[in-house]
Amino acid sequence: MTDSPLTRLMRSSSLRLAGRLALIFVGATLLAGVVSFLLLTSALQDRLRADARQMAESLGATYQVAGLIDLHAQIATNIATTRDFANLYLFIDSSGRIVFGNFSVRQPFIGARDLVSGRDMILPGKDAPKGLGFSAYGVRLPAGWIMVARQTSALDEVQGIVLQSVAFGLGLAIALAIAVAGALAWRAERRIARLSEVLDRAAVGDLAQRAIEDGGDDIGRISRAVNATLDQLEQTVESLRQVSSDVAHDLRTPVTRLRTRLEPLMLRNDLPPDAAAEVAAAMDQSDRIVLIFDAILRIAQLEGGDARPRFAILDLGGLLRDLHEMLEPVAEDLGHRLSCRALSMTVSGDRDLLGQAITNIVENAFRHCPVPADIRLSLEALPGQALLTVTDNGPGIPATEQEAVFRRFYRLERSRNSEGSGLGLSLVAAIVRLHGGSVELADAKPGLIVRIRLPLA
Amino acid sequence: MKILLAEDDIQTADFLRQGLVAEGYSVDHVPDGRDALVRATMQPYDMMVIDRMMPGLDGLSLVKALRSAQVKVPILFLTAMGGINDRVEGLQAGADDYLVKPFAFSELSARLGALARRPALLEGSRDQVRVADLSMDTVRRAVTRGETGIDLQPREFRLLEHLMRSAGRVQTRTMLLEAVWDFHFDPNSSVVETHISRLRAKIDRPFDKPLLHTVRGAGYMLKA
């Protein structure tokens, strides 16, 4: 989860989709260019052929109306006004002799034909270019043939222009496609990033965040669905909280009364010994009810994320040393050994909640380890996080049950009859989660390792 | 000592009143927050015990209202169990101490004793504290009983200083946890008992007359 935003953008599905669209866009533009190029070429070719035919026929008409002299004059005028072999004219008499013109062919023909200079025809002059393409048309007259040819190299020029404009358009299309794709992907990525942030926050109990809802597209739809789910969840959590606080109110009164009734009896000296023992036992049980009930309510509140606004910057190492100093004599009296190795490092949190979590773990070790146990507290700094470890050399917890012990009221088979509430580790997990950290169990071979990771402040 | 008790549950209130009267307090009870506000502003009380959840006006708003009306009387705030923020909210609203329901009456009584600001049975100045033949120099951090010097760990010193400064008043386990360790949660193991017994081994055992007494069902008290 440490990818840079750019890496994430490059890998995002939206950018891939945009890239694919851009490719299709460019392909379509290219295809359109090729098609228009072909169409334009063939249209121009037809036009040149039609020109040649029309000129040949009009010269034929001149001959029939005005005679050979006028035909001659007309062709001479045309030749004089043409440059660079653009238009060619030729009159051949009935015997096949070239009478006049500005090109020559081996054999007169009738109708349209494509010619290449130097191959099918000869241009006048010593350095006459070869390989030029012409569209020619021949007309048969009683006196001979009229041949007219139009140079098609003008077509090459037009083709070049078309190709240039297609290439330019294509470049523009690619640039535009990349820009649009990038912008779309960036916008989608931003909305997805917000969405995943909202879900991450919800996972640690902050249900107040909402995704960006704009847009009728799929991300907008998912965002709205996520927001609706969060609304529902928030409402459920709120009503759950309401229920637990109602339960608290309704139950604390009878429990308070029970305690206030038992307490004066405890202090009386005139009770028969068996009655006094019963009162003490009843008092014990009522305290246990309170303890369990208090733990349930606390876990519910912690999971609702209620306590986070009270967080302050605190020295976790100092807290651990304080706890060690407080619990060490207790361990000694029980016959255990409790040691502590902790450097100072700061986290954001609630000193009492963290203190309670760590105390719970240490007291679990007191309870479950046979005397004499070696219990070690340690705290080390990892990049960005504090790693707090409580290690004992007691019986440990089987790997198959390590997940389950964090569940409420879950108890290992062997400790089913002991005095614990089955809530200690659930409370630890709830406290650590509230602090944005994680807790895991491992096997110390023999013994139990509890690892708590908390983000450094 | 006149106490105003604002508590909506009549049974609990009756027990509290009986207990407090037996300890020599005079108690006025009101079952809802608005009545409490009216009473508190009409006549002077030495202390108030205010429940968080009440009809009319809830405890938190009541405390805020009293404080903004410049009523400076010590207030003990009663909160529901499980409320993580209740303590902080109560203290921020202006209460002087808090207690989580259900509580032992002895706890309430001990805390009221501390709030009443009755002078502790202690002799000496700020730096020199003395209870019977036990004396403490808080500047030199030295403790002597009679002619004998006593060597204490830092935390034992703090525990003893707290007990000496509140000599003659009962200190409960939770009061000691708060004052000496600054922890507002209840460890299951016998933390306070263990530390008290170590302290006792140093200040009482070698001597004839014990000073650190266990008050059954309540806590501890340092007394001549």
Quote the CA–CA distance of B199 and B159 in Å, as a whole number: 8
User: Under a CB-based contact definition with an 8 Å cutoff, are residues B84 and A301 in contact?
Assistant: yes
Please indicate, yes or no, if residue A451 is contained in any of the structural domains: yes
- Binned at pLDDT 50, 70 and 90, residue A22 comes out as confident
Exposure string of A298-328, with b = 16+ CB inside 10 Å and e = fewer, is: bbbbbbbbbbbebbeebbbbebbbbbbbbbb
Among B183, B218, B184, residue whose Cα is nearest residue B108:
B218
Q: Which residues of B are less than 8 Å from A297 in CB distance?
A: 81-83
Q: According to the model, what pLDDT value does residue B125 have?
A: 66
Of B81, B185, B216, the CB nearest to A290: B81
Q: What is the pLDDT of residues A24-40, one digit of tens each?
A: 878 888 888 888 888 88
Q: Are residues B70 and B8 in the same domain?
A: yes
Shortest Cα distance, chain B CAs vs residue A381, angstroms: 25
Q: According to the model, what pLDDT value does residue A424 have?
A: 82
Q: What is the pLDDT of residues A222-267, one digit of tens each?
A: 888 888 988 988 888 778 767 766 776 677 678 878 887 888 888 7
Q: Which residues of A are less than 8 Å from B11 in CB distance?
A: 257, 260
Question: Average pLDDT in the B111-134 region?
Answer: 77
Q: Which residues of B are less than 8 Å from A351 in CB distance?
A: 182-183
Q: How many domains does chain A have?
A: 3
Q: According to the model, what pLDDT value does residue A248 have?
A: 64
- Binned at pLDDT 50, 70 and 90, residue A125 comes out as confident
A193 close to B (CB below 8 A): no
Question: Average pLDDT in the A130-155 region?
Answer: 85
Q: Are residues B46 and B128 in the same domain?
A: no
Beta bridge partners of A456: A347
Q: Are residues B103 and B13 in the same domain?
A: yes
CB contact under 8 A, B155 and A359: no
> Cα–Cα distances in Å, from A46 out to A5, A106, A346, A453?
58, 25, 86, 82
Q: According to the model, what pLDDT value does residue B203 have?
A: 94
Quote the CA–CA distance of A227 and A394 in Å, as a whole number: 47
Q: Which of A95-109, A347-361, B46-60 has the highest mean pLDDT?
A: A347-361
Given a cut of 60, whether residue A367 has pLDDT beyond it is yes
Helix (H) and strand (E) counts for chain B? Answer: 8, 13
User: Under a CB-based contact definition with an 8 Å cutoff, are residues A21 and A179 in contact?
Assistant: no
Given a cut of 80, whether residue B134 has pLDDT beyond it is yes
Shortest Cα distance, chain A CAs vs residue B194, angstroms: 6
Of A294, A325, A329, the CB nearest to B82: A294
Q: Are residues B35 and B82 in the same domain?
A: yes
Among A301, A293, A378, A384, residue whose Cα is nearest residue A339:
A378
Q: Are residues A286 and A328 in the same domain?
A: no
Question: Average pLDDT in the A175-186 region?
Answer: 82
Q: How many domains does chain B have?
A: 2
Q: Which of B115, B149, B177 is the last residue of a domain?
A: B115
Q: What is the pLDDT of residues A52-105, one digit of tens each?
A: 899 889 988 888 888 888 888 888 888 888 877 888 888 888 888 887 888 888
- What range does the domain containing A229 cover? 218-303
Q: According to the model, what pLDDT value does residue A70 have?
A: 87
Q: What's the CATH code of the domain at B21?
A: 3.40.50.2300
Residues in chain A: 457
- What range does the domain containing B61 cover? 2-115
Name the interface residues of B facing A (CB cutoff 8 Å).
9, 11-12, 15-16, 19, 53, 80-85, 88, 100-106, 155, 181-185, 187-191, 194-195, 198, 216-217
A237 close to B (CB below 8 A): no
Question: What does pLDDT average to over chain A?
Answer: 84
Given a cut of 70, whether residue B124 has pLDDT beyond it is no
Quote the CA–CA distance of A74 and B166 in Å, as a whole number: 136
CB contact under 8 A, B188 and A329: no
Looking at per-residue pLDDT, the higher value among A3 and A161 belongs to A161
Q: According to the model, what pLDDT value does residue A1 have?
A: 46
Please indicate, yes or no, if residue A208 is contained in any of the structural domains: no
Given a cut of 90, whether residue B71 has pLDDT beyond it is no
Sign of the dihedral defined by the CA atoms of residues B151, B155, B160, B165, in that order: positive
Of A290, A306, A330, the CB nearest to B102: A290
Identify the three-state secondary structure at position A398.
Answer: coil
Q: What is the pLDDT of residues B160-208, one digit of tens each?
A: 999 998 888 899 999 999 999 999 888 877 899 999 999 999 999 989 8
Q: Which residues of B are less than 8 Å from A421 in CB distance?
A: none
CB contact under 8 A, A356 and B9: no
Please indicate, yes or no, if residue A421 is contained in any of the structural domains: yes
Shortest Cα distance, chain B CAs vs residue A221, angstroms: 38
Report H helices in chain B.
10-22, 33-42, 59-68, 86-93, 105-115, 154-165, 173-176, 191-203
